[in-house]
Chain A
Amino acid sequence: MPLSTQSQADDEQYVLVASLDNARNLSNILKAITFKDHAIFNATPNGLKVTVEDSKCLQANAFIQADIFQEFTIREDVVGFQVNLTVLLDCLNIFGGSIVPGLSTALRMCYKGYGYPLTLFLEEGGVVTVCKINTQEPEELIDFEFCSANVTNKVILLSESLREPFSELDTTSEVLEITMSPDQPYFRLSTFGNSGNAHYDYPKDSEMMELFRCTTTQTNRYKMSLLKPSTKALALSSKVSVRTDSRGFLSLQYLVRNDCGQVCFVEYYCCPDEEVE
């Protein structure tokens, strides 16, 4: 493979080298969190975490473990940088999005450290494209302080059951209200738009409900504009876990399988809308 003919000497300059036989195993999952121009990359020996934030109220993370990559070499404990995500996606898809059987784009992603661009080597059918994307110092990420110990309510649903409601969500409603309760209605999504109020109920014994663990009745509202982008993650995933904590903070965790059947995770954290009493 042409990309691997890069000399060993070059490799020693890079603090991070990550290779994939199929670039789509990275680009597809990044699409699930592309709602802002910039993303922060955080690489550790465990793998890659890519974060996108919105208005200090929403954070989306995509996790790609080291073993998803054909090669993942990191020379420091943590490597972090910020890049333009739209530009990165255009580069990852430089050979076009068409899915020709047997033909995939191979990727080698390299980073020399602070002040250097993120270098991508992409190859398809013998044609090589080299991209150098400027990086910035990573902005500080919000810590939502969401921990399992404070989780009051949790459900795991099959994504297919949420896809239709999420795509139909009344976007004239400023908020999406989520009700979770050990009693009726168990799990409810509500909108309050120009055409009226809409409710989507999921009973706890529904076959779509893989796990139902609700201890207290909670109703929280979240800005629709913040949660609507999560529809992309929902579309890619097979199941989603919905958790709220005692403060009403929301955690959505999506299980995504890539082209090779390997598992990656995407999570969204969202603050409740302040107008709720």
Chain B
Amino acid sequence: MWCELSQANFFDEYQIEGVSPEDNEICLEVAPENLSRALKTVQNAKAVKVKLTKKHCPCLTIAAELPTLSSIGRIVTHDVPVDVIPRRLWHEFKEPSMPDFDVSIFLPHLKTMKNVVDRMKNLSNFLVIEASQNGQMNLKIETDLVSVTTHFKDLGNPPWGDVASQEGRASQSRNPDTMAEARVDIRRLQQFLMGQQVQPSKAMCNIVHHKVVHLILLHEDMSLQYFIPAVVQSG
């Protein structure tokens, strides 16, 4: 999962001194539960300050003044331990490149998709996502007991999908009716859908046939990318 937030939209004050003037970046590894727990405790604060500090180890120090019934506020500080990633390893954490997809399509209304996937999860562990360049997407599950297919139509395809000649596929002009599909673990798709509280301004899905599903969400001030690898058909 890859998420990008534009700092100007979130922070009143933002200061950073990176590794060097040429590499003005810092790369940190943190356990998400620790960070989210700390942020949860300060969610009612009027202002929150996040600093990279060095206590017994490098930490993200989250400090906030919480409102109380009396006139004196309560100060809460969390030190969330982090690992600083050295520059020589930064290449391992680069934004994954857009895969050479077979189909790129806009996602349907996420709430509808979530409702359907939640029910499908009761019936199967795996789900097949297939889509075509003419705006059709199907979600399919199949078990011994039941098969269920949900058909979405007229979803539209992002303009970059029209580029017929992708690397290695220049000879193949894509038939808009052809479906690209990938079989994924339903829980991964459900996790992605659970996190969407607000309908994004743009939601898209790229499918590399039998390989990976790449989901992209664009909000006004944030972008989110989610890669789900395809699982091999068993049996």
> Which residue numbers of A lie inside 8 Å of B, CB to CB?
84, 86-87, 90-91, 93-96, 98, 117, 124-134
Given the contacts A87-B145, A132-B147, A95 and B115 also touching, CB distance less than 8 Å = yes
> 12 A-B residue contacts at CB 8 Å?
A91-B119, A94-B148, A96-B118, A98-B115, A124-B112, A127-B108, A127-B116, A129-B116, A130-B151, A132-B146, A132-B147, A134-B144
Contact of A93 among B108, B112, B119, B153 (CB under 8 A): B119
Contact of A130 among B123, B144, B149 (CB under 8 A): B149
B142-185 interface bits toward A, Cβ cutoff 8 Å, 1 = contact, 0 = none:
00111111111100000000000000000000000000000000
Residue B68 interfacial (CB < 8 Å): no
Q: How large is the interface on B (under 10, 10 to 19, 20 to 34, 35 or more residues)?
A: 20 to 34
Complex: A62 Cα to B44 Cα, angstroms: 51
Contact check, B148 vs A129: say whether CB atoms are below 8 A apart: yes
Cα A62 to Cα B18 with chains together (Å): 69
Q: 1/0 per position for B64-80, CB-CB distance to A under 8 A? A: 00000000000000000
Question: Nearest-CB distance from B140 to chain A (Å)?
Answer: 10
Task: Please state if B148 and A91 are interface contacts (CB–CB under 8 Å).
Answer: yes
Give the A-B pair count, Cβ closer than 8 A.
Answer: 61
Which one of B115, B118, B145, B151 contacts A128 once the chains associate, using CB atoms below 8 Å?
B151
A252 to chain B, nearest CB (A): 29
Given the contacts A90-B123, A96-B118, A98-B115, A129 and B145 also touching, CB distance less than 8 Å? no
- Pick from A84, A129, A134: contact of B151, CB below 8 A: A129
Set of chain A residues within 8 Å of B152, measured between Cβ atoms: 127
Given the interface pairs A94-B119, A95-B112, A95-B115, the reply to whether A129 lies near B150 with Cβ below 8 Å is: yes
Min C-beta distance of B146 to chain A, whole Å: 5
Contacts of B150 on A, CB cut-off 8 Å?
Answer: 94, 127-129
Question: Contacts of A94 on B, CB cut-off 8 Å?
Answer: 115-116, 119-120, 148, 150
How far does the alpha carbon of A78 sit from the alpha carbon of B108 in the complex, in Å? 41
Besides A90-B123, A127-B108, 19 other CB < 8 A contacts? A84-B145, A84-B146, A87-B145, A90-B119, A91-B148, A93-B119, A94-B115, A95-B112, A96-B114, A96-B115, A129-B150, A129-B151, A130-B149, A131-B148, A131-B149, A133-B145, A134-B144, A134-B145, A134-B146
* Beta-carbon contact of B122 and A90 below 8 Å: yes
Write the nearest CB–CB distance from B197 to chain A, whole angstroms.
16
Q: What is the chain B residue whose CB lies nearest that of A94?
A: B119
Chain B residues, Cβ within 8 Å of A130: 148-149, 151
Q: Give the complex CA separation of A96 and B119 in angstroms.
A: 7
When distances are taken between beta carbons in the complex, the residues of chain A under 8 Å from B112 are 95-96, 124-125, 127
Q: How far is the CA of A129 from the CA of B122 in the complex (A)?
A: 16
Q: List B71-117 residues whose CB lies under 8 Å from chain A.
A: 108, 112, 114-116
Give the complex CA separation of A94 and B223 in angstroms.
29
Contact call A126/B153, Cβ cutoff below 8 A: yes
Q: Which residues of A contact B146 (CB under 8 A)?
A: 84, 87, 91, 117, 131-134
